[in-house]
Amino acid sequence: MVNYTVRPATPRDCADILRLIKELAKFEEMENHVKLTEKGYNIVGYAMYYYTYDAWIGKLLYLEDFYVMEEFRGYGIGSEILKRISQTAVQDHCSSMHFIVADWNHRSINFYKKLGAADLSKKEGWRLFEIKKKHLVKIATEE
């Protein structure tokens, strides 16, 4: 059994959180996309979230990143982090939690489905789009 503590992040955690962000990017084969820098090491998992609103269902919590170092998986750390985030969502009157998962990441997909998550890309046909900054600038400056 591994001893761990789940707690809100503080500014002194930035180095470890960045390390985990880089590990997540490497896991997703997108490590060249991380531009942030920092040094350090003490944390083995993290979750990053924010609140957003949906016109149909109201306030929701959007889980942007969720990662536990591979050697610490299977000890319940991820489940405990997700439990804390779920408690936060309920306390803050969110109607649901949304997030995306890479379609090849079957382990995570199964983890979320086991907890009751619905795959909206299959269930409702939603697709994720991105407009990059250069296009945002173009749109914003068009007359």
3-state secondary structure of 129: coil
Catalytic site residue from 46, 49, 67, 112: 112
Q: Read off the pLDDT of residues 66-111 as tens digits, 9 standing for 90 and up.
A: 999 888 888 899 999 999 999 999 999 999 999 999 989 999 999 9
The token duo for 26 is: 């490497």
Which pTM value belongs to this model? 0.69
The count of C-alpha atoms lying within 13 angstroms of the C-alpha of 36, restricted to the half-sphere facing its C-beta, is 13
Whether 112 is a known active-site residue: answer yes
Q: How is the chain split into domains, by residue range?
A: 11-141
Q: Helix-strand-coil percent breakdown of the chain, rounded to 5?
A: 40, 15, 40
CATH superfamily of 11-141: Gcn5-related N-acetyltransferase (GNAT) (3.40.630.30)
The average confidence (pLDDT) of the chain is 88
Which positions ≥6 away from 28 have C-beta within 8 Å?
102, 105
3-state secondary structure of 139: helix
Residue 37: pLDDT band with limits 50, 70, 90: low
- Residue 111: what residue type? F
Contact 48, 8 (CB under 8 A): no
